[in-house]
Amino acid sequence: MRSDTATAITAGPRGVPLLGNLPQFAKDPLAFFTALRECGAGQVTWAMGRTPARFLNDPALIGELLSARESTFSLPDLGWSFRYLMGEGVVVAKGDDWRRKRSLVQPSVRPKQVRAYAATMADCARETAERWSGGERIDIRREMTGLTQRIAVRTVFGTDAAVREDVIGRCMDVAQRQMGAEFRGLGAMLPDWFRTPGRLRFKAAVDTLDAEVARIVAARREAGGERDDLLSRLLAAVDEAGVPLTDREIRDETVTLYNAGHETTATTLTWAWYLLSRNPKAREALTGELDRVLGGRTPGFDDYAELRWTEAVVKETLRLRPTVWLNLAVAEEGATLGGEPVPAGTQVWISPWATHRDPRRWPEPEEFRPERWLDGAPDAITDHTWFPFGGGTRACLGARFAMVEAVIVLATLGSRFHLDTGDEEIRPTVGLTLQPDREVLAVTRPVPAPAR
C-alpha cells in the first residue's frame, strides 16, 4: 500500500459494508488520520459511510485544496447549531455572500487594528495575574477560558456600560458546549427541527444573546463615535457599493468573531502552559526572554517582534496541539487535485494533527522544540506543512489577532508565574476543538522579579 510518490492515490484501510471507515474514524479520529498518513501516498481514499472521501498527505495538494475553495470545492454544511448561532456570518456564508462579508470583516482585524486590541489583551491578562497568588492550585483551562472570554467581550463589544460581560459570557458558554456536543455525538445528524433538551437550552441562550447584542448595537448607534473595538469597525464598514452592514449582519459577525476566536485561543494557551511545564528548558528560555525584553513591565503590541521565543512557543504548541484538528471540503463538478479529477461529492479531508507530526517533514515530530521556529526555519506556512489557521481563500481571519493575544497572555502571566502541572500525562481528545482529556490543574509558582 505504501507509495513514495507524493501525488499517488492509494486506497486506505479496508472498511465495512455500508459504513465504510466510519467506525474507525468515530472510534479514534486522530489515530485514524495518522494511519491514513502512514499509507504514504499523496492522496488516500476511504469511505465516510457511503460518501467517498479522500485524505491529503502531500502539502502541495493541501495548498491546492485550500485555494480551490469557493471555486471547485465548497464548504460542507456545519450543522444546525452553527447556523443558528453564527447566522449568515463569514464562517458559515458561501459564494458571493461570503466574499462580501469577508471583505467587510477583514479590515477590522488588520495589524493596525490588532495593535489597538493588544492593549485590551494586556489589561485583561494583568487582571488575571493580579488575582493569582503563589502556591495556589488553579484549573488552567478554566482560567484561560475566563481570560480569553473577557478579551473577546471587550475587543468585540467594547467596555461601555451597556456591555454585560457576564450575560454574554454565560450565553456563549451554553452555546459553545452544545455545538461541541453536537459535533461529537449524533447531534449533527438530527434534522434541524428536532429539539433535544440540549438544543432547547442552546436556543434559549442564543435568543438571550441576540437581545443583548441588539441592545448593545442600538446603544452604540445612538451614542455614535469611534472606539477601539471590532463593533465600531463593523459599524463603519461599507461594501463596494457603499452599503453598510445591517443590524442582523452586525449581530452575525460580532457573534462569529467572538466564537471563532475565544475557545480556539483559550485551548491553545492551555496546551502551551502544559507543554511548557513538561519542558523546563523551554520554560527557562521563555523566562529569560521575558526578563530581557520586558524587565518586569506588561507587554504591548510593539514588544511582539522582540518576543521571538514566546512566539515560537505558540507556534510549536499549535504544531503539536492544533486546536482545529481537521478541515474538509467537498468536490464540485470539474474539481481536480494534482491534475487528476476528483468526482463531485467526494469529501476531501486534511488534518493538521497528522501533517504536523509527519516525520518526513518534522524531525523528532513528537518533541516540543520551539527552537525549530527560529532563524533559518523553512516557511512552514507557505509550504503547507503547518496550517493551524487553514490557508488559501478561507484562511483564518483572526490568525494575527490570535498570535498577538497568545503571545501577550503568555508574556504577561509567564513573567510573573510558572504553572506546574505535575507529571501526569494529559492526552488530547477531539470535540469541536482538540481539548485536554481532563482538567489541567497546576500550582502557581511566582517567578522572582528580574534583577535591575
Q: Give me the residues that bind ligand HEM (CB under 6 A), please.
A: 66, 90-91, 102, 109, 256-257, 260-261, 264-265, 268, 323-324, 327, 388-391, 394-398, 401-402
> Whole-number minimum distance, CB 388 to ligand HEM, in Å?
5
Q: Looking at beta carbons only, is 47 or 118 nearer to ligand HEM?
A: 118
> Whole-number minimum distance, CB 122 to ligand HEM, in Å?
16
Instruction: Give the pairing of strands 434-436 and 428-430.
Output: antiparallel
Is 39 annotated to bind ligand? no
Q: Which grid cell sits at 107?
A: 479590515
Which of 45, 1, 48 is CA-nearest to residue 24?
48
Contact 244, 74 (CB under 8 A): no
Q: Which grid cell sits at 78?
A: 456545519
Report the alpha-carbon distance of residue 329 to residue 347 in Å, rounded. 6
Contact 418, 132 (CB under 8 A): no
Q: Looking at beta carbons only, is 144 or 285 nearer to ligand HEM?
A: 144
Report the alpha-carbon distance of residue 439 to residue 80 in Å, rounded. 29
> Whole-number minimum distance, CB 436 to ligand HEM, in Å?
15
Q: Looking at beta carbons only, is 216 or 447 nearer to ligand HEM?
A: 216
Q: Looking at beta carbons only, is 350 or 447 nearer to ligand HEM?
A: 350
Contact 264, 324 (CB under 8 A): yes
> Whole-number minimum distance, CB 92 to ligand HEM, in Å?
8
Spatial strand order in the sheet of 441-446:
137-139, 441-446, 417-420
Amino acid making up residue 85: L
Q: Partners of 420 in the beta sheet? A: 443
86 CB-contact burial (10 Å; exposed 0-12 / middle 13-18 / buried 19+): buried
> Whole-number minimum distance, CB 64 to ligand HEM, in Å?
13
The DSSP string of 92-121 is T--HHHHHHHHHHHGGGGSHHHHHHHHHHH
Q: Looking at beta carbons only, is 47 or 68 nearer to ligand HEM?
A: 68
Rounded to 10 deg, the angle between the 165-184 and 247-278 helix axes is 70
Q: Looking at beta carbons only, is 237 or 260 nearer to ligand HEM?
A: 260
Report the alpha-carbon distance of residue 326 to residue 430 in Å, rounded. 10
> Whole-number minimum distance, CB 128 to ligand HEM, in Å?
18
Residue positions forming the annotated binding site: 396
Residue positions forming the annotated binding site for heme: 396
